[in-house]
A and B are shown apart, each in its own frame.
Chain A
Amino acid sequence: MSDGAESGPGAPAQPRLVREGVPASSGIGIGRAYVVDRRRVHVPRTRIDKEAIEAEIGRFLEALRDTRQEIEVIKTRLPHGEHRAILKAQQMMLRDPDLIGRVEQLIAEELRCAEWALATATDEIHDMLDQADDEYFRERSSDITFLSEQVILALLGDNPEEITPPAGSVVVAYDLSPAETVQLHRCAVAGIVTAAGGKTSHSAIMARSLQIPAVVGVAGILGEVMSGEVVVVDGVRGAVIVRPDVDELGGHELERDEYNAFEQRIQREHAFPAITVDGRRVMTRANLSLSEDIDLGRRYGAEGIGLYRSEYMFMNRDALPTEEEHYLTAKTVIRRYSPYPVVFRTFDLGSDKPSKLLSFAKAEANPAMGLRSLRLALREREIFLAQLRGLLRASLHGPLHIMLPLVGSVEELEDGIAAVEEARDQLEAAGMAYASDFSLGVMIETPSAALIADLLASRVDFMSIGTNDLIQYTLAVDRDNDDVDYLYQPLHPAILRLIRSVAAAGAAHDVPVSLCGEMAADPRYTWVLVGLGIKELSMSPSALPVIKHIIRQSSAAEMDALTAAVLEARTAREADEIVLEVMRERFPEHLKHGGGRSALVEEDDG
């Protein structure tokens, strides 16, 4: 396998193959594979003569300069934006005094040739970066590999031939450097598939900003496709189809064209409010955390933030966040979304979201039922109070909502409220300013909370149903467990009844009820959720345009009618069939192209 050599036709026919990876850049691309396999740059390991030291260092410096210039040329071809900043950072690495010093030292003291010295120095940097506990810093190691390979190729006089795939091809590579990704954009490629990388790798970021469909992290893909073979890149679902059957190809092409047309149409209308044709208004908000672009919600037409996951402030760091940081972070988000509200969930740590900063790192036999979330916050009271003080201070800058997660009883809610009051008294005593008109809410994510929603409602300003945990706890199913995930059924009659009764309790107490689990982003469930009485949906930002569009095309009357029918169902399967029949009929494109069904970003720290 070599760079893009045509080797497809003539080879024995291999069977069709489907591989899954990380959907890094949305869209569907179809084309002939152009395989780039340049993982193995051959590094010569020769010793040089003492007299040659100076010349060898000179050769190295010249290669660095050449590589910097190559990047400069690529940079001038680009519009401004995130990808330019990435290339600039790479140029700085090529001027790095530490790196240059270390290579010079290896040449002068150990008499290694420049290529060998650079490879050694790069390996040393790798070892350091690999130890970082933040994914972002670990992924920088691949940037450094690319740079080093580029310089080594320059040293070898092997001018790294530019990747020049024919227009419309799908580039399959182990990984791509930012510079190479830009080059692909110019070649008008149809899609990108890489074996390495994650959502935050630079090639993924570049592909998104250049709008090239891409699936990354498809391990082993290089051994499975040859140049010239047809490949379908499904950047919506994160799938790669190699050698699709001739009769399915037309279907994929149609899907691609429809997807593009649908995307354009939906995105054009993202800012219109979600009001049914007969006037029922549904507020649509975004779920957000520190690891994501703060403007994502605005870009997709969010009316505020319905769930800000504050626990990300506790991850991948060495010190606990201070009151000041909570204040600054909350202030930034609130200002960005004002006059719309921002709902801050107090830190929801423990179970699947551990933080090394909290002392309770005891191994638990059953973490989902253990010391997590509000329970943990009440135990780690000082940490909790610092967060609450920061949030209360930030409430001066706009409509702030504080939401307590995983409440199971009135006592727990009262303990949470007492903590908020204590934080307020502390601010009062310290003479700090805060707004007194913040609102306080509770998350409904345990069956116990759902069943006593009426009792909770009388104590709070709003309630928000977290369906991910509510389904897990009600049905006693871990959806990450392959053996039981078939039992994870959002339309199980038990779940529908719980959601309905929470919505009814909210209505009776004049307390708005929102829903912020993954169900909110799934176009199949929009009618049922609104029909059950949910007035606000909060979801992964990219799902917003699709869900809003569905609501605008529907009437509350037909939503209520479908919901009534679904509530009659005896099993989740029956309910599914009823819902799918109607929704497929009414919204075939929305269900197919699916908005944010797989786009819920959990561990995507950038």
Chain B
Amino acid sequence: MSKAKAHEVAGELEIINPLGLHARAASKLVSLANKYSSEVFLAKGETEVNAKSMLGVLMLACGMGTTIRLRCVGSDAQRCFDGLAELVRGGFGEI
């Protein structure tokens, strides 16, 4: 990890692909999250999980229409957030 100050970038996103965060979408999200050095968290309501964890993401059980909160913490937080947000907003390439 570089010495750059840890940034935090967060925002809300809506799951718009019809099947929600099912296994294939979740694996895309987790794979992408793991490409960044930032820590990545995903929250639905009160529950926040590690977005680099397949089981964590599955456990959120997000169907279509769920609003999730994405939080990236680390030196590449902005790039990380933008990349993941694009994936979610694009419906995981399923629309």
Chain B residue numbers with a CB within 8 Å of A99 are 53, 55
Main secondary structure of the interface of B (DSSP, over half): mixed
Tell whether, in the assembled complex, residue B56 and residue A317 are in contact, meaning their CB atoms are under 8 Å apart. no
Q: Does A322 contact B (CB under 8 A)?
A: yes
Chain B residue numbers with a CB within 8 Å of A332 are 18, 95
A317–B45 alpha-carbon span in the complex (Å): 13
Shortest Cβ distance from B59 into A: residue: A128
Q: Does A434 contact B (CB under 8 A)?
A: no
Shortest Cβ distance from A317 into B: residue: B63
B84 to nearest A CB, angstroms?
16
Shortest Cβ distance from A606 into B: residue: B19
Enumerate A27-48 residues with CB–CB distance to B below 8 Å: none
Tell whether, in the assembled complex, residue B53 and residue A98 are in contact, meaning their CB atoms are under 8 Å apart. yes
Chain A residue numbers with a CB within 8 Å of B24 are 85, 89
Residue in B50, B58, B63 whose CB lies within 8 Å of A318: B63
B61 to nearest A CB, angstroms?
4
Tell whether, in the assembled complex, residue A89 and residue B61 are in contact, meaning their CB atoms are under 8 Å apart. no
Total CB contacts across the A-B interface at under 8 A: 84
A357–B12 alpha-carbon span in the complex (Å): 21
Shortest Cβ distance from A202 into B: residue: B23
Tell whether, in the assembled complex, residue B65 and residue A318 are in contact, meaning their CB atoms are under 8 Å apart. yes
Chain A residue numbers with a CB within 8 Å of B56 are 96, 98
Render B18-56 as a binary contact track against A, CB cut-off 8 A, 1 for contact. 111011101100110000000000001000011011111
A93–B27 alpha-carbon span in the complex (Å): 9
Tell whether, in the assembled complex, residue A125 and residue B54 are in contact, meaning their CB atoms are under 8 Å apart. no
Q: Does B16 contact A (CB under 8 A)?
A: yes
Q: Does A144 contact B (CB under 8 A)?
A: yes
Tell whether, in the assembled complex, residue A319 and residue B53 are in contact, meaning their CB atoms are under 8 Å apart. no
Chain A residue numbers with a CB within 8 Å of B49 are 98
Tell whether, in the assembled complex, residue A328 and residue B95 are in contact, meaning their CB atoms are under 8 Å apart. yes
Residue in B19, B55, B65, B91 whose CB lies within 8 Å of A321: B65
Chain A residue numbers with a CB within 8 Å of B6 are none
Chain A residue numbers with a CB within 8 Å of B58 are 129, 137, 140
Tell whether, in the assembled complex, residue B55 and residue A85 are in contact, meaning their CB atoms are under 8 Å apart. no
Tell whether, in the assembled complex, residue B16 and residue A325 are in contact, meaning their CB atoms are under 8 Å apart. yes
Tell whether, in the assembled complex, residue B23 and residue A85 are in contact, meaning their CB atoms are under 8 Å apart. yes
Tell whether, in the assembled complex, residue A88 and residue B55 are in contact, meaning their CB atoms are under 8 Å apart. no
- Interfacial residues, chain A to chain B (CB-CB below 8 A): 85-86, 88-89, 92-93, 95-99, 125, 128-129, 132-134, 136-137, 140, 144, 290, 313, 316-322, 324-325, 328-329, 332, 606
Task: Return 7 A-B CB contacts under 8 Å, by A number.
Answer: A92-B27, A129-B61, A136-B22, A144-B55, A317-B65, A317-B66, A321-B65
In the complex, the 4 A-B pairs of residues with the closest C-beta atoms, listed nearest first: A132-B61, A98-B53, A317-B63, A137-B61
